Amino acid sequence: MNKIILKKGRERSLLRQHPWIFSGAIEKTAGNPQPGTTVDVVSADGQFLGRGAYSPSSQIRLRLWTVDEQETVDADYFRRRIQAAINLRQSLRIPAQTNAYRLIAAEADGLPGLIADRYGNFLVCQFLSAGAERWKTVLMDQLKELTGITNIYERSDVEVRRKEGLQPCKGVLCGEEPPDLLKIEENGLHFLVDIKHGHKTGFYLDQRDNRNAVRLHSADAEVLNCFAYTGGFGIAALQGGAKHVTNIEDRADFIGMIEENARLNDFFEDSCTGIKADVFQLLRQYLKEGRLFDLIILDPPKFAESQTNLERASRGYKDINLLAFKLLRPGGQLFTFSCSGLIKMEMFQKIVADAVIDSERDAQIMQWLGQAADHPVKLAIPETQYLKGLSVRMIC
């Protein structure tokens, strides 16, 4: 039998319900497990601790499927886990005017390495671990049966797969080829999504609640939407009655999609401007010009990819927030985010606080923000809380 024996005292994380075992915690491996093979984990004194997927190429050597010694990891096991995830989404009562949301959120749903997002009548999946890859066909079959969706597209074209000894890949798994741009609905708004080439699986579904929060604070506001991607926050601001939204992106194709999304929602061209530029440089230019805004959104890409660039990432977050504070009118509002898992909320709040101090202004936190409920956070797995945000009001 394939088995992992842990070093003495290294079982604590498993006993605290964290599903990862790192290579340094392993005393020895019995048998000859292949990538994705299900293996048992035992303590140094032979106590059964769990059963998970083996990944010889990764520092995370094993991702736990179950701690129940009587539970077999097979097709029925995955069916139960997927059904539980579907039941959770149904309990959230996602509005009928929203047909795009996360169906399975990997470790947070007890399915390490599997992401499944629904976009209308398409599922877009990522298989990010050796275990998820080994069970790909079974997972796909269960998803089809339990959701009734027969169009499944893979977006495993991410570098994290290389850490698992897997090559990035993407393409049709079953059903139809998705259109170049797929129309979805979110809280009554319509968006065109490129699920074949766009960021993540095509759209930042985790920001749904935060886009709605921006909408509620946008009446008569002059809005600056930074790192705009395809304009989600900007379109939500226009829905909330914003006077004008300036969207900044550094790719021309995204600027084109922002304009398409504005037209799709019947917003006039003069109410929404897309600018292709480097956000840091353009904000410095606006500062020199004396431009001011009523509401600014900062939703940058992940600055901190690893511990080695954490300090540099922190400087980047501080710099961009400092510029934003200087560009806000008194009484204006900043919605600022970090999707870097290594930047914890306490650290992010300190970075933003340091930025407002250096701006020589004063502000107050109105709301702590995070990922939408279809991206649940498992209490025992802090890594599942990756999106942090603050709604900050300028006092003076």
CA distances from 395 to 161, 249, 275, 301 (A): 46, 29, 29, 28
CA distances from 342 to 29, 199, 313 (A): 30, 20, 10
d(CA 112, CA 154) in angstroms, rounded, equals 16
Which residues, in sequence order, are bridge partners of residue 115?
Answer: 105, 126
DSSP 8-state assignment for residue 67? S
Task: For residue 3, report the phi and psi dihedrals to the nearest 5 degrees.
Answer: -155, 145
- Identify the H or E element spanning 3: strand 3-6
How many CB atoms within 10 Å of residue 29?
16
Could you confirm whether 272 is annotated as catalytic?
A: no
Considering the candidates 169, 174, 339, 396, report the single residue annotated as catalytic. 339
How many CB atoms within 10 Å of residue 28?
9
Which amino acid would we find at residue 337?
A: F
d(CA 171, CA 188) in angstroms, rounded, equals 30
List the one residue out of 309, 305, 307, 392 whose CA is nearest residue 355.
Answer: 392
List the one residue out of 298, 297, 372, 310 whose CA is nearest residue 340.
Answer: 310
Given a contact cutoff of 8 angstroms between Cβ atoms, the answer to whether 183 and 208 are in contact is no
Q: Label residue 106 left, alpha or beta by phi (over 0 means left) and psi (-120 to 50 means alpha).
A: left
* Cα maximum dimension of the chain: 70
What is the set of active-site residues?
339
